[in-house]
Amino acid sequence: MTTAPRTADAAALALGDDALVLSHRLGEWAGHAPVLEEEVALANIALDLLGQARVLLSLVGDEDELAYLREERAFRNVQLVEQPNGDFAHTITRQLYFSVYQHLLYDRLATTDSELAPLAAKAAKEVAYHRDHAEQWTLRLGDGTAESHERMQRGLDALWRFTGELFQPVQGLDVDGESLRTEWTAVVTSVVRKATLTVPEGPQTGAWTAGAGRQGLHTESFGRMLAEMQHLHRSHPGASW
């Protein structure tokens, strides 16, 4: 962690942290989901992501050291995935924005000669399902009741400013950010419109947040999330579990 990372490490760390952090947020839903069937669905997605995180982090070093002993500023995930769950519509929005990105990214990555290509090929299948889950729910919430429509629109609007970061270049990832953005926008626009919702028009980045998560700049709630996640592990230095 102290030595300068290889380029492939930087990419693995970025994607691994995305998966780790989103998995953690989804894990917070356990026991709180709107219906039992959805408890099972959300947990499945969380478990897929955690599995991806473990493979990716293990490429870089010891998965637990990386997850539990890094400070907030050393995490390389995008800010989108660390955003708190909010209501179900907020969570579904986060899932939609992120899983479409992740799916497009992994599909591309799978065809490169990157060290991450085999992992990306496997993960792309999982992520395709996550994306489908998010799309199905976006349709139902958007085109459901007046209340669900309003909540879903609020979710889309609130998280929109975290989406610009998804297309910033990542060291070690040989993927063209602009074509990714074009395709992402097309997919999201189509789903959002089909759900009778409106694609937000505001900026996709805040004043100083462009690419910030990937540089180790995070939002306030992330620190609290890490404090909770790391507390037990850090309380017993050197212990094994």
Number of residues that bind another protein (CB under 8 A): 54
Q: By C-beta, is 50 or 116 nearer to another protein? A: 50
**One symbol per residue from 11 to 30: x for binding another protein (CB under 8 A), - otherwise; what is it?**
---------x---x--xx-x
Distances (CA, A) of 202 to 62, 64, 162: 40, 38, 11
CA–CA separation, 165 and 217 (whole Å): 12
- State whether residue 148 is helix, strand or coil: helix
Stated as kind and residue range, the H or E segment containing 103 is: helix 88-110
CA–CA separation, 181 and 127 (whole Å): 18
CA–CA separation, 146 and 142 (whole Å): 8
User: Which of the ranges 70-78, 99-107, 168-176, 227-235 carries the binding residues for another protein, by CB under 8 A?
Assistant: 227-235
Six token digits for residue 27:
């894990």
State which of positions 40-99 bind another protein (CB under 8 A). 40-41, 43-44, 46-47, 50-51, 53-54, 57, 63-64, 67-68, 87-88
- Residue 140 interacts with another protein (CB under 8 A): yes or no: yes
- State whether residue 67 is helix, strand or coil: helix
* Inter-residue contact 26 to 98 (CB < 8 Å): no
Residue from 115, 143, 157, 183 that binds another protein (CB under 8 A)? 143
Residue from 7, 8, 33, 200 that binds another protein (CB under 8 A)? 33
- In whole angstroms, how close is the CB of 42 to another protein at the nearest point? 9
In the chain, the N- to C-terminal Cα span, in Å, equals 22
Residues that bind another protein (CB under 8 A): 20, 24, 27-28, 30-41, 43-44, 46-47, 50-51, 53-54, 57, 63-64, 67-68, 87-88, 132-133, 136, 139-141, 143-145, 147-148, 151, 225, 228-229, 231-233, 236, 238-241
